[in-house]
Each structure stands twice: as structure tokens, then as C-alpha cells.
């Protein structure tokens, strides 16, 4: 080597590992089945660590062969991930145990030395060349036979990681169960931290993995808390990353609990560490897990087949936004598998406007009902769902302790479907806070079922959307009688066939001093002035409403004095008011502006589109804005007979910094 001229020798050699495509090719060759290969590769991609190690050709081959036996055709998309230790354990467990025992001692004795093994070294472990040769033919991934110089027979482990696994196994064989394990392993941890050279990283990782596999130490053993503290102390060093991998080999959720504690409480669960330590720990955890905030499919790749190639991306995302993705029920078994996987970070799943159908919902419910499922939000608007799917969803409502939001809008579930959902909603285990059932063909009878369910279990629901369902006055009155809508924060019942008869119940709910109702949408109902008056009586008794939408409710100028009085009240907190599509005319706006000009009025957004206004309304609005310039920011006047000169007067106010007004439409 010394005789080779230096200019012929590379100073730096970069060894490139497998690309993503090459990994897939290896799995495809080993599995011999494309679907099975995809499932196996998904198991690897769940772990960022395994994905990285899979770049090494020998390890990639080991993983593919182990997963070939781990996965069986016809088992669906169920994900039972293996960690690195489990991969190697499965690799050697089918081998000759006597030979493996000898190889373990050999590996421990020569750990970190040259890779090639000669006959003399084999003899020291009571292993003959014949035994080693036979074993290498049966298990070439563990041991390889080669021809060295002068036709000498030599052996080497399939990869250095095989040697490290066998050495770790031998290391633990030499100790009795109890404190000796803990103290010895802590000594190994200290060695890794002090040397920080990476030579025993994988060896220590296997030590932690085997502690778990053999059940040698309880999770409460001091070793693990001490290791966590060493990670925090060395959070910016290479050894900190190494120890993090080791700890995760014992517990895939390690340190997540402490990170959540810090995020929820704002202080460290370990007193000796500052916020800075935990900020770095949070970054490390996110990087290690490969977490992402949101997953969306590219427009050109929206179909079931493409989705199945991104299962691990979805599993690592907090949100999966899959609306209008050309999906069918075929993708649902895979999504259900993600929901039931302990390692999943998915909390929000939006499948809106895909052909999911009842069959797809049935599959999804399997995942939703799993004890590992931590999904909080499911959105299924416009998915071709019928009443039959609601039978399955009722099961999910009873079993899923994390589910907080369900959106079934624009599905023909009807009264029968509402009956099934009610069975789940009335369960004490149901934790639904937001229920969206807009345009679901629910009528009076269905509303009765909903009212009955919420009467039994109304403590959790905070947002209820029944819009575009012809529930009518009878359905609404039954709902208001049995369900305390004052506990809701948002109620949407636009276009529900309501009249003045429904308004008394709403007014009564608003009267409660502890009413939480902040947003109310009753637009496109024939409430008329009499109905509005009933709502106002409740609203002004103890006002909690922040947003009120009464567009297209057949209101006239006669309702405006009552409304103006409320806006001028010091208790008023209304910030958004929509009166569009009501025949208020100029006289009504004049009366309304009495309230708008009051310093007590906090209105920020006012919609008066298509209210029969003319330019005669402009002076009233201008005067009100000049008297109370600090709140109103948006004013909508479309669909009225206003002259350009009048609009210009209002536009001038938007250019004056004295006024908050910024939008005129």
C-alpha cells in the first residue's frame, strides 16, 4: 500500500447505501409478491431508525428475509412492527441453537476486531470448520464461508451488526437476573457517553432490546431513568442520539410521556433540567419519529393505489387531508390498520367527498374501535354513506374513547341512520364534542332520536350542526326540550324549516346566566319579526352570543329597534351579525344605526347584503361609524341599490387610520 503513489489513492471514500428504489427492489425479490413486499417495506418505514439502517445492503437483506416469515398473505394491512432486536432475534432463532451459542461466545470475544475468522479462532469456541461450513450454507445471512489467501478457508459474520447482536446476547448470558444487569448496563451506557466514538452503539442498542425481549428488567428499573437523564445532559452530542436509539429499542414510546408532561405543564418532570433541554428534546423527538403536521396527496396521484404507498407517511402525520382524492372503500382496510397501530400519530382524518360507502366505513370502524386508536377527528362528508353505515359508527362512538369530532354531512343517512347513531351517542363512553350532520335527510323523527340521545349524554357535545335537514318546529322543540342547548358553544340549524314556534326554546336557553352558546346560525328559516323578538328577549337577558346569523329569515324594519337596543347594551358581546336577505330597507338601517353608534357596540362584522337598501342608508351608516370608529371592520352591502357616490363616502373611511373599517363589499 505504501508503494502506491499518493495521487492514485483516494483521500476520502464515500460509501453510498441503497436508494429508496433499491430497497423496494430487494424487498420485491425476496418476497416474490408485490403486495406483500409493500406491506413488509411499510413495517420498516414506520421506524425512521430502521429506514436509515435499511440503506446498508446486508441489513436490508436481513430485514426483507425476516419480514418474509413475519408477514403472511391474506392477513390484510395489519401492522405489527418489529424493532431491530426483534428482527435479528427472528433471524437466528430458527438456526441450530448449539452453533449459535458457540458463535455468541466467539462474537463477544472478538467484538471490534478484524472481520475475518480463521480455523484457530473457531477452535477456541469449540467450533469445527465442518460445523461452521454446514451452518453457513443454511444461514448465509448469519455466517459466510469464503476463500482467503492461499486457498485458506475463512469465515465472517454476514454483517458486523450480526456480530454485535450475538455479542450482546452473550454479554447478558453471563449475568444473573437482578441488580447486576442494571449496574452492568449502566456501566456500558457510561462507556458510550465517555468515548463517544460510535464503536459500541449498535452493541448497546441490542443490549437494551434484549433486556426487553428476555424480560430481564422492569420499565421502572433505575437504568432507564438514568439513561433518560444522560440523554438530556448530552442532548446535542452524538452519544445523546445513540442513547435515544438504545432506549427506544427497549420502549418505542420512551421519553414521549416526559415530553407530553413538559408540553402540558410547562415545566420539567426532572427538576435538574431546564426548558432549553426540553426544547432540544422536543426537536429530537420530532426528528427521530419523522413526524409531520399534515399529509396531502398530490393532485396527479390521487387514487387508492397511490395512497397505499404512503401509509407510513400518514401514520407519521398528525393530520391526513384526503378530500377529493378519488378514493374508494378499497383503501379503508389500510387506513384502519394505521388507526389501530400503537405507533400512529394520526389525530385527524378527513376523507370528505370520496366514494368510501358503507363497506369502507365498516372497515374504518375496525380501526376506530381498537384500543390503540387515538384519532380525535373523523370527517366523512359526501362519502356515499347510508343508514347502514351508522350501525357501525354507533359501535365506534361507544368504544372510541378519544373520538371528539364526527362529520357525516351530505350523506343520506336519514332518520333510520340517526336512530343508529343515537344508540352510540347516548352511551356514557361516547366523548363526541362536535357533531356535524348537515344535509343528511334527517327529519322530525330523526331529531327525536337525537334529542333522546343527548338527553342521556349531553355533557360532551359542544358543537351541533343540523343544517339543511327538514326537522321542522316539532323536531326542534323536542330537541330544545330534552337537550340543554345553553351548554353548546355553537348551534347551526340553517334551512331546517323553522318558524316562530321554535324561537321560544332558543330564547329560553340564551337567558341562562351560564349559557355557553356563542355562535348561532338560524339563517334561511321563516322566523319573522316575532321569532326574532323571542330570541332577543333571551339574548339580552344574559348575552353570550358572539356570532349571530339570521340571513333570509323574513325579517323587516320592525325588528331593528329591538336589535339596536341589544347592540347598545353594555353586556353585548356580539362581534358578527348577518342580516342579509331580509327586507330591512332604509328605515330599518336607520333604526339599527342607533345601536351601532353606541360606544357599547362591539360589532366587528355586519352583513346587510340584499336588504332593499338605497343610498339613503349611507348617511346613517357613516354617522354611526364616525360615532363609534373603533370596532366595525367589515361591512357587506352587496345586492343593494346603492350609488357609487355613497359607496365612495364609506371607502374614504377605510383609508382613514382613525377608523377600523377595512373591508367594504
Average pLDDT over all residues of the chain = 86
Mean pLDDT of 93-101: 84
The pLDDT value recorded for residue 490 is: 94
Query: pLDDT-derived band of residue 541, with 50, 70 and 90 as boundaries?
Result: low
**CA nearest neighbour of 323 among 346, 302, 306:** 302
* Number of CB atoms found within 10 A of residue 525's CB: 25
The pLDDT value recorded for residue 289 is: 67
CA-to-CA distance for 247 and 224, rounded, in angstroms?
A: 7
**CA nearest neighbour of 21 among 37, 10, 35, 33:** 37
CA-to-CA distance for 86 and 165, rounded, in angstroms?
A: 11
Judge whether residue 642 has pLDDT over 60: yes
The pLDDT value recorded for residue 248 is: 86
CA-to-CA distance for 436 and 409, rounded, in angstroms?
A: 6
Q: CA 646, 649, 655, 660: dihedral to nearest 10 degrees?
A: -80
Contacts of 91 (CB under 8 A, 6+ apart): 62, 65, 66, 141, 142, 162
Higher pLDDT, 81 or 541: 81
Q: CB pairs under 8 A, 24+ apart, for 149-157?
A: 152/118, 153/119, 153/129, 154/116, 154/117, 154/118, 155/116, 155/117, 155/122, 156/115, 156/116, 156/117, 157/107, 157/115
CA-to-CA distance for 293 and 442, rounded, in angstroms?
A: 35
Judge whether residue 539 has pLDDT over 70: yes
Query: Among positive and negative, which fits the CA dihedral 507, 511, 515, 517?
Result: positive
Judge whether residue 13 has pLDDT over 80: no
CA-to-CA distance for 430 and 61, rounded, in angstroms?
A: 46
CB 426 within 8 A of CB 398: no
- Hey, what's the cell of 362? 365498516
Query: What CA–CA distances, in Å, run from 21 to 108, 173, 304, 326?
Result: 35, 40, 20, 26
DSSP string, 507-542: HHHHH-TT----EEE--SS--HHHHHHHHHHHHHHS
Extents of the domains making up the chain: 20-82, 91-162, 175-289
The pLDDT value recorded for residue 473 is: 94
Strands 434-436, 463-465: pairing is parallel
CA-to-CA distance for 378 and 350, rounded, in angstroms?
A: 6
Most confident of 101-115, 197-211, 286-300, 457-471: 457-471
Mean pLDDT of 282-291: 73
CA-to-CA distance for 124 and 117, rounded, in angstroms?
A: 11
How does pLDDT run across 255-274, given as a tens digit for each residue? 877 888 877 887 778 877 88
**Coil, strand or helix: which one is 280?**
helix
How does pLDDT run across 307-360, given as a tens digit for each residue? 887 888 898 899 999 999 999 999 998 898 889 888 888 999 999 999 999 999
Query: Among positive and negative, which fits the CA dihedral 127, 129, 135, 141?
Result: positive
CA-to-CA distance for 101 and 68, rounded, in angstroms?
A: 25
Per-residue burial over 372-397, b if 16 or more Cβ lie within 10 Å, else e, is ebbbbbbbbbbbbbbbbbbbbbbbbb
* Number of CB atoms found within 10 A of residue 428's CB: 10
**CA nearest neighbour of 435 among 415, 455, 458, 414:** 458
Most confident of 62-66, 68-72, 223-227, 490-494: 490-494
Judge whether residue 75 has pLDDT over 70: no
How many angstroms from the chain centroid is the CA of residue 115?
A: 45
* Number of CB atoms found within 10 A of residue 235's CB: 21
Query: pLDDT-derived band of residue 583, with 50, 70 and 90 as boundaries?
Result: very high
Amino acid at each position: 500500500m505504501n508503494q502506491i503513489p499518493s495521487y492514485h489513492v483516494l483521500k476520502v471514500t464515500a460509501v453510498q447505501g441503497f436508494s429508496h428504489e433499491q430497497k423496494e427492489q430487494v424487498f420485491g425479490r425476496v418476497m416474490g409478491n408485490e403486495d406483500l413486499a409493500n406491506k413488509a417495506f411499510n413495517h420498516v418505514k414506520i421506524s425512521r431508525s430502521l429506514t436509515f439502517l435499511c440503506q446498508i445492503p446486508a441489513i436490508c437483506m436481513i430485514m426483507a428475509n425476516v419480514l418474509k416469515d413475519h408477514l403472511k398473505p391474506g392477513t390484510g394491512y395489519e401492522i405489527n412492527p418489529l424493532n431491530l432486536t426483534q428482527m435479528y432475534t427472528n433471524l437466528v432463532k430458527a438456526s441450530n441453537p448449539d452453533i449459535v451459542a458457540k458463535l455468541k461466545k466467539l462474537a463477544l470475544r472478538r467484538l471490534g476486531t478484524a472481520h475475518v475468522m480463521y480455523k484457530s479462532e473457531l477452535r477456541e469456541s469449540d467450533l469445527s470448520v465442518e460445523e461452521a461450513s454446514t451452518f453457513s450454507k443454511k444461514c448465509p445471512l448469519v455466517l459466510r464461508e469464503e476463500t482467503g489467501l492461499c486457498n485458506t478457508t475463512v469465515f465472517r459474520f454476514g454483517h458486523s451488526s450480526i456480530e454485535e447482536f450475538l455479542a450482546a446476547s452473550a454479554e447478558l448470558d453471563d449475568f444473573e437476573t437482578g441488580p447486576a444487569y442494571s449496574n452492568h448496563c449502566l456501566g456500558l451506557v457510561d462507556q458510550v457517553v465517555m468515548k463517544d466514538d460510535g464503536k459500541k452503539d449498535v452493541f448497546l442498542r441490542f443490549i437494551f432490546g434484549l433486556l426487553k425481549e428476555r424480560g430481564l428488567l422492569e420499565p421502572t428499573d433505575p437504568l432507564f431513568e438514568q439513561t433518560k437523564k444522560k440523554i438530556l445532559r448530552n442532548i446535542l452530542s452524538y452519544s445523546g442520539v445513540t442513547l435515544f436509539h438504545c432506549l427506544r429499542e427497549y420502549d418505542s414510546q420512551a421519553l414521549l410521556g416526559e415530553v407530553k408532561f413538559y408540553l402540558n405543564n410547562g415545566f420539567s418532570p426532572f427538576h435538574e433540567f431546564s426548558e432549553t433541554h426540553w426544547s432540544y428534546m422536543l426537536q429530537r423527538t420530532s426528528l427521530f419519529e419523522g413526524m409531520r403536521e399534515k399529509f396531502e396527496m398530490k393532485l396527479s396521484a390521487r387514487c387508492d393505489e397511490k395512497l397505499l404507498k404512503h401509509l407510513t407517511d400518514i401514520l407519521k402525520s398528525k393530520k391526513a387531508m384526503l378530500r377529493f382524492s378519488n378514493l374508494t372503500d378499497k383503501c379503508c382496510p389500510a387506513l384502519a390498520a394505521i388507526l389501530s397501530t400503537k405507533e400512529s400519530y394520526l389525530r385527524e382524518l378527513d376523507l370528505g367527498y370520496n366514494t368510501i360507502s358503507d363497506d369502507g366505513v365498516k372497515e374504518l370502524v375496525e380501526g376506530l374501535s381498537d384500543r390503540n386508536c387515538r384519532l380525535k377527528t373523523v370527517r366523512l362528508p359526501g362519502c356515499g354513506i347510508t343508514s347502514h353505515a351508522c350501525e357501525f359508527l354507533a359501535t365506534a362512538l361507544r368504544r372510541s374513547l378519544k373520538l371528539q369530532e364526527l362529520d357525516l354531512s351530505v350523506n343520506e343517512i336519514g332518520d333510520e341512520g340517526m336512530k343508529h347513531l343515537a344508540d352510540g351517542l347516548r352511551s356514557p363512553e361516547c366523548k363526541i364534542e362536535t357533531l356535524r350532520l348537515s344535509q343528511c335527510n334527517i327529519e322530525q323523527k330523526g331529531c327525536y332520536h337525537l334529542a333522546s340521545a343527548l338527553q342521556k349524554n349531553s355533557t360532551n357535545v359542544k358543537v351541533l350542526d343540523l343544517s339543511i335537514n327538514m326537522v321542522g318546529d316539532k323536531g326542534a322543540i323536542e330537541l330544545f326540550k330534552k337537550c340543554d342547548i345553553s351548554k353548546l358553544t355553537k348551534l347551526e340549524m340553517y334551512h331546517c324549516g323553522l318558524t316562530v314556534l321554535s324561537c321560544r326554546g332558543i330564547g329560553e336557553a340564551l337567558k341562562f346566566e351560564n349559557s355557553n352558546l356563542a355562535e348561532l346560525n338560524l339563517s334561511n328559516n321563516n322566523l319573522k319579526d316575532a321569532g326574532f323578538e323571542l330570541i332577543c328577549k333571551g339574548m339580552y337577558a344574559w348575552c353570550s352570543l358572539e356570532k349571530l346569523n339570521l340571513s333570509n329569515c323574513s325579517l323587516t324594519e320592525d325588528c331593528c329597534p329591538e336589535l339596536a337596543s341589544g347592540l347598545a347594551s353594555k353586556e353585548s358581546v356580539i362581534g358578527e351579525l348577518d342580516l342579509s336577505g331580509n327586507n330591512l330597507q332604509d328605515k330599518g338601517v336607520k333604526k339599527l344605526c342607533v345601536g351601532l353608534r353606541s360606544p357599547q357596540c362591539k360589532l366587528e362584522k355586519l352583513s346587510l347584503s340584499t336588504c332593499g337598501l338605497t343610498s339613503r342608508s349611507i348617511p346613517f351608516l357613516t354617522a354611526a361609524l364616525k360615532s363609534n370608529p373603533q370596532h366595525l371592520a367589515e361591512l357587506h352591502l352587496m345586492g343593494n341599490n346603492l350609488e357609487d357616490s355613497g359607496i365612495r363616502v364609506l371607502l374614504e373611511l377605510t383609508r382613514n387610520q382613525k377608523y377600523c373599517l377595512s373591508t367594504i363589499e
